[in-house]
Amino acid sequence: MASLRRAKKRQLLRELSQVVNEDRENTAKMLAYMGEIDRRRLYLEDSYPSMFAMCTKQFGMSEAIAGKRIRASRAACRFPRILEMIRRGELHLSGVHQLAGHLTQENHEEVLQRAKHRSMREIEVLIAEISPQVDREPVLRELVMDGGDGTPGEDGFEGTVVSGPVPASSVKNLTIPLSPRRYRLHVTIGQQAKDALEELRDLLSHQIPDGDSAIVVEKALALLLAETKKRRSATVKKPRAKTKKSAKRTRVIPAHVWRSVFERDGGRCAFIDENGRRCGSAWQVELHHCVPYSREGPHSVENIQLRCRAHNQFEAELEFGEAFMAERRQSA
């Protein structure tokens, strides 16, 4: 701002102090709003499958900032004293983010009191005291010259990079033993492989709710190995026998409906909010009956759309009530 260049020293210092105080007040207020919206899951009505999606897509927060603020807002919902400490400048956002997973009803008063006006380093020491961890193995990191053309890369070397408690003689091994039957795999992949891995994580999100990439890779390798063995041995799949259509009504959705719906909706949640904005999440996608099955809704392509799990549950609560769905989920 050009006007600041002409401002006097005392004015700059005074006004900066005011801005910092306003920032603390606004940070506390923002966390309070985020916590309440998250608690009520109001982001679902605006076509977002999660609070994280709302923060990054609607408000343009970075992934790191969104994650930090959401974690802090949830901690503040549990322990409202955090908001007052932020307002008074006694605790910073990064400190709340670090402390959040270590606060309990029993210890939060003491821990928050000890965290007042502490730096990140001091808070890390405090966390180590209240939640001690076992010693970790030392890490050996080596860069091996010769990446094919023998020229150095951007970091000074070209070639294999290996991290882990491994002897130097094994540094070129792709898999590094960590414990019995457990290995670390270190590879570099291209954009296409990265996109394929992320798409697989979405498609397998029901089976792997935490999105563990190691399990995705294990499943993909097992399928590729089986398929390659079949191809190499010239075996073919037996043609599937035709099944007669049953007159009895069943919850089983025909495979051709699944395929048609998935292709039409692009494998993504088709929930649209009142402003015409589509969710579009590919995480934990499920089939949703526009007219519920329990109310004679048919298994037709016209009556079925894709929903992420969050919006599928949200629409079920709108249709049948929160109490009924909560009871049903608990019994399941």
- CA 186 to CA 128: how far, in whole Å? 30
pLDDT band at 144 (very low <50, low <70, confident <90, very high): very low
pLDDT in tens, 77-114: 999 999 999 999 999 999 999 999 999 999 999 999 99
Around Cβ 106, how many Cβ atoms within 10 Å?
Answer: 8
Question: What's the confidence (pLDDT) of residue 46?
Answer: 93
Highest mean pLDDT among 143-152, 219-228, 237-246: 219-228
Least confident of 61-65, 248-252, 282-286: 248-252
Q: Please give the pLDDT value at position 247.
A: 64
When pLDDT is averaged across residues 39-56 and rounded to a whole number, the result is: 95
How confident is the model over 35-52, as a mean pLDDT?
96
Residue 274 reports pLDDT greater than 70: yes
Tokens in use for 204? 């397998």
Distance of alpha carbon 102 from alpha carbon 193, whole angstroms: 37
Residue spans of the domains in the chain: they are 16-130, 137-188, 190-232, 255-331
Q: Once rounded to an integer, what is the mean pLDDT over residues 163-170? A: 35
Mean pLDDT of 224-234: 76
> Where do the H-state alpha helices sit in 54-134?
63-78, 81-87, 93-99, 108-114, 120-130
What distance in Å separates the CA atoms of residue 280 and residue 311, rounded to the nearest whole number? 11
Measured CA to CA in angstroms, residue 32 lies from 18, 77, 78, 124 at distances of 21, 7, 11, 25
Beta bridge partners of 140: 164
Contact indicator for 162, 176 with CB cutoff of 8 Å: yes
Express each pLDDT in 283-324 by its tens digit: 999 999 999 998 999 999 999 999 999 999 999 999 999 888
Q: What is the b/e burial string over 304-332, where b = at least 16 CB atoms within 10 angstroms of the residue's CB?
A: bbbbbbbbbbbbbbeeeeeeebeeeeeee
What mean pLDDT comes out for the span 242-271?
84
Q: Has residue 115 got a pLDDT over 60?
A: yes
DSSP codes joined into one string, 39-62: HHTGGGGGT-SSHHHIIIIIS---
The sign one gets for the Cα dihedral 99, 63, 277, 209 is negative
The pLDDT score that the predictor gives to residue 5 is: 86
Give the pLDDT mean for 34-63: 96
How many CB atoms are closer than 10 A to CB 268? 18
What confidence score (pLDDT) does residue 141 get?
Answer: 44
Predicted confidence at residue 250, as pLDDT, reads 86
At residue 232, the pLDDT reads 62
Beta bridge partners of 306: 287
pTM: 0.70
Torsion-angle region of 164 (φ positive above 0: left; ψ -120 to 50: alpha; else: beta): left
Q: Using the structure block, give the residue that is written with the tokens 């951007």.
A: 154
Alpha helices by DSSP H, the chain:
2-6, 9-40, 51-53, 63-78, 81-87, 93-99, 108-114, 120-130, 191-203, 213-232, 255-264, 309-320, 322-331
For residue 151, give the amino acid letter: T
State yes or no: pLDDT of 158 exceeds 60.
no
Higher pLDDT, 158 or 106: 106
